[in-house]
Every structure is written in C-alpha cells, then in structure tokens.
Amino acid sequence: MNPIFSKDFKNVWILSISGALAGSIIPLMVLIGSLVGTDLAPTVKLATAPVALMILGTAISVVPISACLKKMGRKNTLWLFMAIGIAACGLAMVALQLKSFSLFCLTSLVMGSCNAAILQTRFAGMESVAVEHSATAASMVMAGGIIAAFVGPELAVMGISITAVDYQGSFLLGAVCIALAALLLSPFKPSTMVDVATATSKTTLTALLSNPSFCLALASGAVAYIIMSFVMTGTPISMHYFHGHSLLDTKWVIQSHIAAMFLPSFIAPILFKLLNIRGMMLLGLLCYGATILIGFSDTSVSGFWIQLVLLGVGWNFLFVAGTSLLPSTHKEDDRFKAQAINDFTVFSLQAVAALSAGWVINLITWQQMLLGCLPPMLIMLGILLWERSKNTASQ
C-alpha cells in the first residue's frame, strides 16, 4: 500500500488541507491588494505596498513564531496565528470602511505573520512521519498550495459586492476560510518530540553556518524564492506594458505559473528516489537556466508561458529539496533555531526580490533582468560543489 494512505500520514493530510485553506488568504491578498492600494494610496507608486508589506510581515514574524513553537507547540501556535489572521481580515474590513490606506497596510503586515505560521506546516508534516517519508510529507503539504491558489482568488471575486464597500466581503470570506482551517486542524496530533519542551540551543549561528549541508539547504530555499519572486513580479509589467500582450494572456501565464509551482509536488517523491535531494536541486537550477535562455529568444505569449511554467517547476524542486535536507543538518535541540534562521533568510530575501523587481524592470530590459538571476544561481552551484567536496573528504 502506498504510504500516503496509511494512518501514519493522517497528520500530513490534515496539515495539507488545513494549511491550504488558511493559506488561501495569501493569493486573495495578492490578487486584490494592489487593486485596493490603487484606490486608497495617496500615489499610484504605493499601490503595491500592501503586497510588499505582507511579504515583509512574513519575514519579520519568523523569529517570534519560532519562540511560540518552542513554548506552545505546533498546533497551539498554528491556532494562535490563524486567530490573528481572522483578526487581520476584520481589520481589513474596517480599513476599507474608513478608506484608510495606512490601516490597510498594517493589515497586510499582520497577514504576513499568519502566512509565516502556516508555512511551518511543512516541518510539522515531516516530523509526523518516518525519516524516509519526510520528503513525501513535505511535498504533500506543499501540494496543498494548489487549493490555496484557486480558492483565494475565487473568494476575492465572490466577495467583491457582498457589502456596500467593495472587497469587504472578500475579507469576510477569507476569515470564514481561516476559521474552517482551524476547525479542520482539531484532529491533528503533533509529534511528541515537538510538544515536549527541549533544552535551550547552545549552538551559535556561526557553528550552524559552518556546516556545508545547512548552508546548502538554506541556499536552496533562498535561491528558489529570490529568482521566482524577482521574475514573477516583473512578468505582468514586462508582458503587458513593454511587450503589448493582453491582460487576459498575462493572467493566463501567471495562473499557469502558480499551478506549476505546486503540481510537481505530486511526482516529487518519485523524483527524490531517482535523483536524491542534491539531484533535485540541480534539476531546479536547470529549470531556472532554461527560463533565462527562453527569455532571450522568445517574448511571445507562448514564450512567456514556457518561461513561467519552468520557473514554477524550478521553484518547487529547489524549495522542497531544501526543506527536505534541512532536518538532517542540525541537532534536535537546534531544530527551532535552524528553522527560524532558514525561514527568516528565505523570506527576507524574497521581500527584497519582490520589492526590487518593479523598480528594475522599469530601468532595464527583460533580458537584462533575467541575467540578474545568474549570480544567485552560481552562488548556489558553488555551495553545492563545496558541500559535495566536504562530504566526500569526510568519508
């Protein structure tokens, strides 16, 4: 019998579905955040500020969430931040009622903290199964993003006219969705090792970073998000404004990209067995390299479509591979510290990439922007070779 249908994977299924429903608030915000920003911001230059602040909120919440995880455990921490997410939806409704851009921006920042907690479900899923199934568990939880990618935008559109104020209903539906996610989390039984208080980690940051495997796991997640966010954020502007493609074509390309980010999770366990974690990382880098090559030769709609699909697939391989490698790179007492360092680094760099993309695409060409993706790819390749040489030497 396939292990995913065994009772050992009950927690993984719960986390995947609950996390997907709660996480739907993020694509909801991505879709309407800029539209609301356009209506409320004092200048159109600040229209994307709510979305950018949501990413920033994810980054700065990682360390506090790590502390909560250590004191409260996975389940209680998820419930706490789901409650915060519901409160943020209510605050967004108030901001829309008052037409307050500053309050809406604060709401976006708070929603980022909810997202940071939900992203911890991938680690909770891995801790719920045997080590040999951890990559499968991570892939399944990540695959829940497909549900979020479709549910979030649907809620946004369905809720536009529920009340007299546009988009208030969208956040009302978002709050209901998070509440449902919290209810579905009730049967989740965290791994014993997670809820038992652990000794305070005495390992320094320098000691963790001296481990080539930890650096590789960190680099894989960081490079996955840096390049994906940088290219994805610049695509609508490049396609619609600079290359003259329609908004419908642009929407189709972005939707295909989001699907490509999560669909490979269904076959990732098979690829892990065939290629191992480091082989998956190389495959992810190859997908990113193909994205750059195609971008130089084809800026038609089909060309952008192929680029963004490859970008999504590459992101999946790199991020899932880095997530799967991370638990084997530190001691048990260092679990929360290592996860906090990893997520803080990854999402801080993602915020920088997303914020800079709009500025960069207005200064240079699409092809030049794609070339800017090469340095982080080369850095990761160097770390991959360094880690391999160190492991070979130690054998």
Q: Which long-range contacts (CB under 8 A, 24 or more apart) does 365-371 make?
A: 366/234, 366/238, 366/242, 366/243, 366/295, 366/299, 367/295, 367/296, 369/230, 369/231, 369/234, 369/238, 370/231, 370/291, 370/292, 370/295, 370/296, 371/292
Q: Mean pLDDT in each 10-residue stretch from start to end of the chain (395 residues)?
A: 68 90 86 78 75 85 85 90 95 95 94 89 81 76 79 84 90 96 90 50 75 92 92 81 81 81 79 88 96 92 94 93 86 79 85 78 87 95 90 69
Residue with token string 């568990």? 137
**Residue 379: predicted pLDDT:** 95
**Residue 357: predicted pLDDT:** 77
**Residue 304: predicted pLDDT:** 93
**Residue 202: predicted pLDDT:** 66
**Residue 195: predicted pLDDT:** 44
**Residue 83: predicted pLDDT:** 96
Angle at 268 between CA 262 and CA 270, to 5 degrees: 155
**Global pTM value:** 0.75
**Residue 5: predicted pLDDT:** 63
The CA distance from 69 to 343, in Å, is 14
CB within 8 Å of 13: residues ≥ 6 apart: 4, 140
3-state DSSP assignment of residue 121: helix
- Residue 125: C-alpha distances to residues 121, 215, 244 (Å): 6, 22, 44
**Residue 353: predicted pLDDT:** 85
The CA distance from 233 to 355, in Å, is 9
- Residue 128: C-alpha distances to residues 4, 156, 267 (Å): 12, 33, 20
Q: At 311, which helix (H) or strand (E)?
A: helix 301-325
3-state DSSP assignment of residue 324: helix
The CA distance from 82 to 77, in Å, is 8
Residue with token string 């200048």? 43
**Residue 262: predicted pLDDT:** 79
